[in-house]
Chain A
Amino acid sequence: MTGHLYRIWDSDLCWSFRQSPVAMVSACISIALVLCAILAPLIAPYNPFDPSTLNLMNGFSRPMEPNAFTGETFLLGTDDQGRDMFSTILYGMRISLFVGFMAVIFAMVLGVLLGLVAAYAGGRTDAIIMRIADVQLTFPAILVAILIFGIAKGFTPVHLRDQMAIWVLILSIGLSDWVQFARVARGAALVEIQKEYVEAAILIGRRPEIIIFRHILPNVVSPILVIATISLALAIILEATLSFLGVGAPPTQPSLGTLIRIGQSFFFSGEWWILFFPAVTLLMLALSVNLLGDWLRDALNPKLDD
């Protein structure tokens, strides 16, 4: 067991991690934020979604100052309805991260699958898949995501819209993001297919799906991992942007973007904390994941654009 751990500690990846202070700091921040999000129900001093704990008199409390009416003190202040900002941010981050992770996983599964199939099948299948990818790539992700969100919203029955909004959001961000994965998976797989072990596997008569998933997939994981990390940061920003525009997470399940949208209306009248803290949290989250992705790309150094 110790030998095993030592091997991980001594690996190239770990060495480059220990050499990069930026990577270590951003990893710490990312992990801390993810932990905070997962443990939100335990950490948060209030449950912002339980109306019975809210007191309207607590509304617009300034950070770290006792409220004028109730005398209660809130770490990061409260919003207009008296919800504790700290708790709201923790829960909001939970939704942001959930949507981000699920969307990236969805995009990854879809994109890698299509990319590998395109690479292995070649010919017409390859041409059709990659042409669709090219066409989608000419449209910015945000536009594709908003359109899919709008169409999916049209298909959802009215009374289910708020409940389904999170899943519709995951679907639309995921579908707007699969192209990157497909291109990278296809590029890496095309290189692998030329190699002798794949030829050998074909010769001994293994089935195509076994060759694709057991033999080729494990060898194209590292560039996909890099794309996934960078995509996560982009997905978090995209989710925040959609929610900010009002076409994302509903006010009943506010993500960081929804909180910024709510805070915007109070920001210019002096209640700066309702916008400021969610915005800073979003920035820390996106920036630390992004820097981690940059480091991973340099460390694994895969040929991303072949």
Chain B
Amino acid sequence: MLSYVLRRASQSVLVLLAVGLVAFSMFRFVGDPVENLLGQERTDADIERLREQLGLDDPFPIQYWEFLSRAAQGDLGISFRQGRLVADIFIERLPATLELAFVSAAFALLFGVLFGIYTSIRRKGILTNVILTGSLIGVSLPTFLIGILLIYIFAVELGWLPSFGRGDVVQVGWWSTGLLTESGLKALILPGLTLGLYQMTLIMRLVRSEMSEVLRQDYIRFARARGLSDRAIYFRHAIKNTLIPVITITGLQLGSIIAFAIITETVFQWPGVGLLFIDSVQFVDIPVMAAYLMMISVMFVVINFIVDMLYLAIDPRLRDGKTSFS
């Protein structure tokens, strides 16, 4: 088991090193830094001297190592577009994205599980059909159209909720939160709904199929034969075995929520890292792109590692160390 954990951990490190290499190559090979720094009137000696100063004549592995150690210390360079430290910009933007992601994940999990259980218990019924049809439409509509549709209904026609931005935010140390003001909470509803809808249908389908599977098992039949009430069967016996895969899938989905936030943030002009990333791609702001790439990969790799370890903790069959899964 320990060997499995170690192998898995070394794989994660390898992936991060590879991503770091991509990020570093972007810095090193897109455009020539010397060309950008020196003016028209330069001599070959100037170029040579600057190359040496910047360490550009060092062997590639040494330059890469320098880059990694600087990145690990939080030095991610200076944004071409904003002329500020990339790390500062990210610290400023990250709370917005994380708040949005967690609110959507909570929404998706709560309603996904509720709807999933309901539709698997009541297999036929008006509400079940409404939920299932709604989820089918929700999956087929591209996220950005859902966002526009929601803005149209709730911001333009009804005028209940704001159509863009975060509303008023409160600073708690370096973290700026929109969760403490009324306008901040209102501004969170539409983007949270847009981002969470797809994940909600995903979780709902998963819960529905798992629950239907569990309800066909013998131990449920025996529980019925023993005369247990429906509530005890559903909520004490069935639900426990349903939720194991749900927990792990939701964990994995957290990463993709942060990635899909790019779309939601653009539609709602939400000042998070996703919007920052799209801007950086449009203006070829390499340091910001590289930093986003590294940040999101660390998140994904860590989440995947934790989820794999959770599997290990939950499912004893995997502990003999022979079974590998990917």
Contact = CB atoms under 8 A, between A and B. Distances in A.
The answer to whether A and B come from one shared complex is yes
Given A147-B293, A247-B282, A286-B142, 15 more contacts: A130-B326, A134-B326, A135-B18, A138-B255, A146-B277, A147-B289, A150-B280, A151-B26, A151-B30, A154-B30, A241-B263, A246-B266, A247-B278, A260-B145, A283-B145
Is chain A's interface secondary structure helix, strand, loop, or mixed overall? helix
A279 to B, nearest CB: 6
A275 B262 contact: no
B144 A244 contact: yes
Interface stretch (B56-64, B68-76, B148-156, B176-184): B148-156
Contacts of A150: 280-281, 284, 289
Contact of A153 (B11, B143, B284): B284
B131 interface: no
A268 B164 CA distance: 12
Interface string B11-43: 100010010001000100111000000000000
A140 B303 CA distance: 14
A149 B18 CA distance: 19
Interface residues of B, number: 43
B300 A139 contact: yes
Interface string B150-174: 0110011000000100000000000
Interface string B101-143: 0000000000000000000000000000000000000001111
Interface string B303-326: 010000000000000000000001
Interface of A: 130-131, 134-135, 138-140, 142-143, 146-147, 149-151, 153-155, 237, 240-241, 244-247, 260, 264, 267-268, 275, 279, 282-283, 286-287, 290
Contacts, number: 94
Contact of A142 (B148, B259, B280): B259
A244 B301 CA distance: 28
B260 interface: yes
Contact of B30 (A155, A240, A260): A155
A286 B326 CA distance: 30
Interface string B278-292: 101110101001000
A28 to B, nearest CB: 18
Contacts of A131: 11, 326
Contacts of A268: 151-152, 155-156, 163
Most chain A C-beta atoms within 10 Å of own C-beta, residue among B143, B144, B262, B266: B144
Interface of B: 11, 15, 18, 22, 26, 29-31, 140-145, 148, 151-152, 155-156, 163, 252, 255-256, 259-260, 262-263, 266, 277-278, 280-282, 284, 286, 289, 293, 296-297, 300-301, 304, 326
Contacts of B280: 150
Contact of A241 (B18, B140, B143, B284): B143
A221 to B, nearest CB: 26
